Amino acid sequence: MTQGSDSSASRERIELVIELDETRDLDSVEKLDLDRVPDPEGRVRVLVSEDQLRRLQQDGFTVELQQRIRVEALDPSLVYTDDDARAWVESRLEGLPREREAE
Amino acid sequence: MYRTVAQLDSLTSLLAGWFPGYFQRYRLPEDSVEGRPVHALRLRAGTATNRRGVLLIGGTHSRELMNPDALAELAVDMLVSHINGTDITYGGFTMPAATVKTIMESMDLWFVPCINPDGRHYVMTVDDLWRKNRRDNPGTACDGVDLNRNCDFLWGVAQGQTSCSPCSDVYCGPSAFSEPETRNVKHLLDNHRMVTFVDVHSYSELVLWPWGHAPIQSHDPSQRFTGLPTGTCTASIPRGYAEYLDPRDHQRFSTVGATIVDAIGQVRGRSYVSKPSLDLYATTGTFDDYAYSRHIANPALDKTYGFTFETGPWTGDARTSFHPSDPEPIKRDTKAGLLTLMQQSICAVDFIGLKVGSARTGVEVARAIRDRRLAASATGRNLIRRFEEVSPALGAAVATRPRFAKRVGKLLRRLAELADDPGARLTDDDVQQLASVLERVRHRDTDLQSVARDASLATIPHLAGKTLDEAIDLLSQGHAAGTA
The Cα B390–Cα B216 span in angstroms is 27
- Amino acid B173 reads G
Nearest residue in chain B measured CA to CA from A79: B2
Nearest residue in chain A measured CA to CA from B13: A102
The Cα B391–Cα B340 span in angstroms is 12
Residues in chain A with CB shorter than 8 Å from the CB of B3 are 79-80, 85
- Tell me, yes or no, whether A101 lies in a domain: no
Residues in chain A with CB shorter than 8 Å from the CB of B168 are 5-6, 33-35
Per-residue confidence in pLDDT tens, chain B, 484 aa: 999 999 999 999 999 999 999 999 999 999 999 999 999 999 999 988 889 999 999 999 999 999 999 999 999 999 999 999 999 999 999 999 999 999 999 999 999 999 999 999 999 999 999 999 999 999 999 999 999 999 999 999 998 899 999 999 999 999 999 999 999 999 999 999 999 999 999 999 999 999 999 999 999 999 999 999 999 999 999 999 999 999 989 999 999 999 999 999 999 999 999 999 999 989 999 999 999 999 999 999 999 999 999 999 999 999 999 999 999 999 999 999 999 999 999 887 778 887 777 888 888 888 888 888 888 888 888 778 777 777 777 777 787 788 888 888 888 999 989 988 988 999 999 998 888 887 777 666 666 666 666 665 677 888 899 999 888 888 777 654 433 3
Please count the other Cβ atoms lying within 10 Å of the Cβ belonging to residue B469. Answer: 13
- Collapsing DSSP to helix, strand or coil, A37 comes out as strand
- Tell me, yes or no, whether A55 lies in a domain: yes
pLDDT of residue B480: 43
CATH number of the domain where residue A29 is located: 3.30.70
Is A100 in contact with B171 (Cβ distance < 8 A)? no
- Domain enclosing residue A48, as ranges: 1-95
Is A72 in contact with B319 (Cβ distance < 8 A)? no
Mark B93-121 as b/e (b = at least 16 C-beta within 10 Å): bebbbbbbbbbbbbbbbbbbbbbbbbbbb
Which sequence spans correspond to the domains of chain B?
A: 5-345, 348-477
> In terms of CATH, what superfamily is B5-345?
Zn peptidases (3.40.630.10)
The Cα B201–Cα B63 span in angstroms is 9
The Cα B181–Cα A39 span in angstroms is 28
Residues in chain B with CB shorter than 8 Å from the CB of A40 are 204, 314
The Cα B256–Cα B340 span in angstroms is 9
Q: Which of B18, B84, B165 sits opposite A101 (nearest CB)?
A: B18
Residues in chain A with CB shorter than 8 Å from the CB of B64 are none
- Tell me, yes or no, whether A103 lies in a domain: no
Q: Count how many pairs of residues, chain A against chain B, have C-beta atoms within 8 Å.
A: 147
CA distance B201 to chain A (A): 12
Query: Do the beta carbons of residue B270 and residue B333 sit within 8 Å?
Result: yes
Is B161 in contact with A47 (Cβ distance < 8 A)? no
Residues in chain B with CB shorter than 8 Å from the CB of A13 are 129
CB of B161 within 8 Å of a chain A CB? The answer is: yes
Q: Sheet holding A12-19: strands in order across?
A: A35-37, A44-48, A12-19, A62-70
Is A6 in contact with B203 (Cβ distance < 8 A)? no
* Gyration radius from chain A CA atoms: 22
The Cα B186–Cα B258 span in angstroms is 27
Task: Tell me the angle at which helices B328-345 and B247-268 cross, rounded to the nearest 10 degrees.
Answer: 140
- A residues 1-60 near B, CB within 8 Å? 2-9, 13, 15, 27, 30, 33-40, 45, 47
Residues in chain B with CB shorter than 8 Å from the CB of A101 are 17-18
Instruction: Give Cα B55 distance to the centre of its chain.
Output: 7
B94 DSSP assignment: E
CA distances from B261 to B53, B328, B435 (A): 22, 18, 34
The Cα A41–Cα B33 span in angstroms is 36
- Collapsing DSSP to helix, strand or coil, A30 comes out as helix
Query: Do the beta carbons of residue B184 and residue B112 sit within 8 Å?
Result: yes
The Cα B351–Cα B45 span in angstroms is 13
Residues in chain B with CB shorter than 8 Å from the CB of A98 are 18-19
CA distance B190 to chain A (A): 30
pTM for the structure as a whole: 0.89
* Number of domains chain A is built from: 1
CB of B125 within 8 Å of a chain A CB? The answer is: yes
